[in-house]
Chains A and B, each alone.
Chain A
Amino acid sequence: MSLELNAITKSFGALVANDGISLAVNDGEIHAILGENGAGKSTLMNIVYGLLQPDSGEIKVDGKVVTIHEPSDALAVGIGMVHQHFMLIPVFTVLENIVLGHESTSRVGKLKLSEARERLLKIASDFGFEIDPDALVENLPVGVQQRVEILKALVYEAKVLILDEPTAVLTPQETDELIEVMKRLRAQGTSIIFISHKLREVKAVADRITVIRRGKVVATAEPTATQEELAALMVGRPVNLMPDKNAPKIGDPILVVKNLEILDPSGRTLVSDVNFEVCAGEVLAIAGVQGNGQSELAEAMVNLQSHVRGSISLSGVEIVGKSVHESLHEGIAFVPESRELDGLIGSFSIAENLILDTHREAPYTRGFVLSPAAVAARGAEQAKEFDIRFQSIQDPVSSLSGGNKQKVVVARELSRPVKLLVASQPTRGLDVGSIEFVHERILAERDAGRAVLLFSTELDEVVALADRIAVMYAGKILAIVDSTVSREELGLLMAGVKK
């Protein structure tokens, strides 16, 4: 089935999210849509799937104009979508999730699942999926959950499948498996729209690539294009994908973590047996698939976790047991995983967010009276140093773009005297330009003789920045390896396989 979009335009107030976008997806083609966060990819797909209505433009399926007012219209013409965040009910079985919304019942209201079961098993075997229809979704690995989502679309006869950032939650191995699944679907005649900003995957699987920038189609590229070419199209200027790294000048150990154990409030072990050192002038990256204890470990560095045993020592000073404020002022800069939730106060001004940690110090406070003028002056200074772009320093920080928000967090954390930088997923959700900035800044801190502890699930980022890599799996550090290790070996470690 072919899908054609003609001059789709959609604006939200003054913002034109999609500006006359046209593209064609051919029968049995994997068509990648590449673009930065905020380029308009999701808006476009939500229009195709009926979650949003375009201001103008038309959608054609097999050459015929269709109107899609809601997802059920999209399903009716054969368009299915797998969202980035799964739309599954964890406590239901696979089969129950698949019939959800299309349940057939007997007269007294009893669910009739047998037909659906046969249909599911047939489709699974047609496409070569192995799936247990009676398994509870919450017990399945993320990669399998994603396959349930895909099956759900296939059961309702989707001929065009939209996959929205499907690899964001997967391990490298699961990503490889997904790529195999996509190729198999293509062989069976299903067209796929693959949305991503990961250049490597797009190149690996796409037949054609449409690049979107600021709501417009800027180019259609072949998968033979280099990553640098694709990135330049995406950003609109040449970008440096691999930051230039100087040879490390390793100093004394700054951070020494011994026998660290983190429990949740109910006493369950989240992290255990963690031992490592980070030296001055070195980046230690903690890699791993999301949810293997990295978030907790990162928080424990500044005592944001309350049930911690063992020792974290910073230049000989024990950190465990101190307050968050004391830990930060011992010389730790902390860039939290979620800047929206933990890094910034959305309704506070940019200036106020820049002094969130130091607001009780002079010159921002005299006695206990705040000086808004001093706060604003400091904000302006830091904004200049870190190239934060805004209209007014008094605007709420929530009005900034993701990249500028992260610059506010980084600027604030690096404004204190710092020995150790703990950065947790520092480039998540950022555009390529901001990623470049954050990477350069992290390496600058390392070259200035600070210890850097980087938590990242992005393999590319880990390889680009780290001097050594520790891989976390199931709450433990599985191995600490040199950054020259192969991607395959890293991928296996992340999946919990140790040679």
Chain B
Amino acid sequence: MKKVWTRIAGSALLPFLSFLLAFIISGFFIAFSDATVLKNIGHPGKFITSALSTVGNAYLALFQGSIFDPNLTAGHGFMRGFYPLSETIVTATPLILTGLAVALAFQSGLFNIGAQGQFIFGAIGASYVGFHFTFTPVLHVILAIVAGVLCAAIYGGIVGLLKARTGAHEVIVTIMLNYIAGFFILWILKTTAFLRPRRIDPIAPEVNPSAQLPHLAGENFRLHAGILIALVAAYFVWWVLNRTTVGFQFRAVGANASAAKTAGISVSKVTIWTMSLCGALAGLGGAVHVLGSQYALTADIGGSFGFDAITVALLGRAKPFGTVLAALLFGALRTGGRTMQSNTTTPLDIVLVIQALIVLFIASPTLVRFIFKVKNLKTNAAMTAKGWNG
């Protein structure tokens, strides 16, 4: 058991140190972008105290906006203080699923930039079945999810098929397919099948209540069953990778495609399967996002879930449970960032700086090793490079 823990600690060290460094450096950005702090630049004492209080307030707001806010408890009871945590999880849920879509691809040596497009197709499929039909509640949710997952699995499968048959590079193909998905949703929302009656802006009808995911913590919280689906999906991905024949082939191709080929594993089949499964995961994210928190399909339903997924998967070291943790962290940063922006003078953009710095440090383990003087930092640089070599 002890061995397991040291292994986990070992592989979490680089993300943790990167995280720490990103927050320290972002502190400087926060301090130096603040007007009051800059005004005091001539008085060292005042300057330091005002800088510290600005940074402290910003990070406190970030915490209050993402985990627990005591101000919300007044008159509503203690539990209401966790409203931000519920929001964090709601934001993180689709991110977990898109993150898994990228992580799984990494494990088979593919670089899936296309989670964004796959997510959009998942949302379209789920939304359509959600508002167009009426079934009994549980069945309706399942059918809507299946529709979304299928649309996205096909969309992802196209990438696998093109790569396997023609050698087209998955990075290029997925980027292009992201554009297509982005314009496709704009177009489809203007068709009579999707446009909400008596509306001219691109928005689809809300999904029927029977297709909505149930809330988990009462009507006061937006927390919905999507997080359970995402956690099950993460476990499923782990199980497929480590306990099934296909997963064995995925990992074999990811670790050394030519040895896998020599041993009789079909690299083309693995590529098609991987990309379909990745599409399915990202599509599940889109479906859950629509059925759990958005209800109505809009042109910007995708947000940046598919792109942040790449960062999330990298931060999670392409491991299913690492990806879950990374997605929760990103969810927290995003929801907390909004509170930080409204309660303090620090802009939301600082969250982007933090995210960018985390990625920067994860991608440069030598630098982190140098700063913290750690010797045996486990790195996974091959993972980032593989997508381009394949």
Binding site for B on A (CB under 8 A): 302, 304, 323-325, 327-329, 334, 336, 341-348, 352, 356-357, 359-360, 365, 368-370, 372, 412
- Is B264 in contact with A341, judged by CB distance below 8 angstroms? no
- Is B245 in contact with A365, judged by CB distance below 8 angstroms? yes
Q: What's the nearest-Cβ distance from chain B to residue A137, in Å?
A: 27
Residues in B whose Cβ lies below 8 Å from that of A334: 262
Q: Which listed residue (A343, A365, A368, A369) contacts B259, Cβ 8 A?
A: A343
The verdict on B255 contacting chain A, using a C-beta distance below 8 Å, is: yes
Residues in A whose Cβ lies below 8 Å from that of B263: 324, 328, 356-357, 412
The verdict on B258 contacting chain A, using a C-beta distance below 8 Å, is: yes
Q: What's the nearest-Cβ distance from chain B to residue A264, in Å?
A: 15
Q: What's the nearest-Cβ distance from chain A to residue B253, in Å?
A: 9
- Is B252 in contact with A345, judged by CB distance below 8 angstroms? yes
Would you give the 0/1 interface string for B21-40, flagging 1 where the beta carbon is closer than 8 Å to chain A? 00000000000000000000
**Alpha-carbon gap, A368 to B241, bound state (A):** 12
Residues in B whose Cβ lies below 8 Å from that of A327: 264
Q: What's the nearest-Cβ distance from chain A to residue B204, in Å?
A: 38
Q: Can you name 28 A-B pairs with beta carbons within 8 Å?
A: A304-B261, A324-B264, A324-B266, A325-B264, A328-B263, A329-B264, A341-B256, A341-B259, A342-B261, A343-B259, A345-B252, A345-B255, A346-B255, A346-B256, A352-B248, A356-B252, A356-B259, A356-B263, A357-B263, A359-B245, A359-B249, A360-B245, A369-B243, A369-B244, A370-B243, A370-B244, A370-B248, A372-B243
Please give 20 more A-B residue pairs, beta carbons under 8 A apart, in addition to A329-B264, A345-B255: A302-B262, A324-B261, A324-B262, A324-B264, A327-B264, A334-B262, A341-B256, A346-B256, A348-B255, A356-B252, A357-B263, A359-B245, A368-B244, A369-B243, A369-B245, A370-B243, A370-B245, A370-B247, A372-B243, A412-B263
Report the tally of A-B residue pairs with Cβ distances under 8 A.
69
The 5 closest A-B pairs by CB, nearest first: A325-B264, A356-B263, A345-B256, A342-B262, A357-B263
- Is B264 in contact with A336, judged by CB distance below 8 angstroms? no
Residues in B whose Cβ lies below 8 Å from that of A302: 262
B residues 260-318 with Cβ under 8 Å of A? 260-266
The verdict on B188 contacting chain A, using a C-beta distance below 8 Å, is: no
- Is B259 in contact with A345, judged by CB distance below 8 angstroms? yes
Residues in B whose Cβ lies below 8 Å from that of A352: 248
**Alpha-carbon gap, A304 to B264, bound state (A):** 9
The verdict on B17 contacting chain A, using a C-beta distance below 8 Å, is: no
The verdict on B12 contacting chain A, using a C-beta distance below 8 Å, is: no
Q: Which listed residue (A328, A343, A345) contacts B264, Cβ 8 A?
A: A328
**Alpha-carbon gap, A356 to B258, bound state (A):** 12
B residues 35-88 with Cβ under 8 Å of A? none
The verdict on B377 contacting chain A, using a C-beta distance below 8 Å, is: no
- Is B259 in contact with A347, judged by CB distance below 8 angstroms? no
Closest to A366 in B: B245
- Is B248 in contact with A343, judged by CB distance below 8 angstroms? no
Residues in B whose Cβ lies below 8 Å from that of A304: 261-262
**Alpha-carbon gap, A356 to B259, bound state (A):** 9
Residues in B whose Cβ lies below 8 Å from that of A365: 245
Closest to A334 in B: B262
Q: Given that A323-B266, A324-B264 are contacting pairs, would A368 and B252 also be in contact in the complex, using a CB cutoff of 8 Å? A: no
**Alpha-carbon gap, A416 to B379, bound state (A):** 37
Closest to A328 in B: B264
Residues in A whose Cβ lies below 8 Å from that of B243: 369-370, 372
Residues in A whose Cβ lies below 8 Å from that of B329: none
B residues 325-381 with Cβ under 8 Å of A? none
The verdict on B246 contacting chain A, using a C-beta distance below 8 Å, is: yes
Closest to B251 in A: A348
Closest to A324 in B: B264
Residues in B whose Cβ lies below 8 Å from that of A372: 243
Closest to B252 in A: A345
Residues in B whose Cβ lies below 8 Å from that of A329: 264
- Is B260 in contact with A356, judged by CB distance below 8 angstroms? yes
**Alpha-carbon gap, A368 to B247, bound state (A):** 10
- Is B258 in contact with A342, judged by CB distance below 8 angstroms? yes
**Alpha-carbon gap, A344 to B262, bound state (A):** 9
Q: What's the nearest-Cβ distance from chain B to residue A163, in Å?
A: 32
Q: Which listed residue (B246, B248, B255, B259) contacts A342, Cβ 8 A?
A: B259
Residues in A whose Cβ lies below 8 Å from that of B260: 345, 356
**Alpha-carbon gap, A360 to B260, bound state (A):** 13
Q: What's the nearest-Cβ distance from chain A to residue B179, in Å?
A: 30
**Alpha-carbon gap, A341 to B261, bound state (A):** 11
**Alpha-carbon gap, A97 to B246, bound state (A):** 50
Residues in A whose Cβ lies below 8 Å from that of B248: 352, 359, 370
Q: Given that A368-B244, A370-B243, A370-B245 are contacting pairs, would A336 and B255 also be in contact in the complex, using a CB cutoff of 8 Å? A: no
Residues in A whose Cβ lies below 8 Å from that of B247: 370
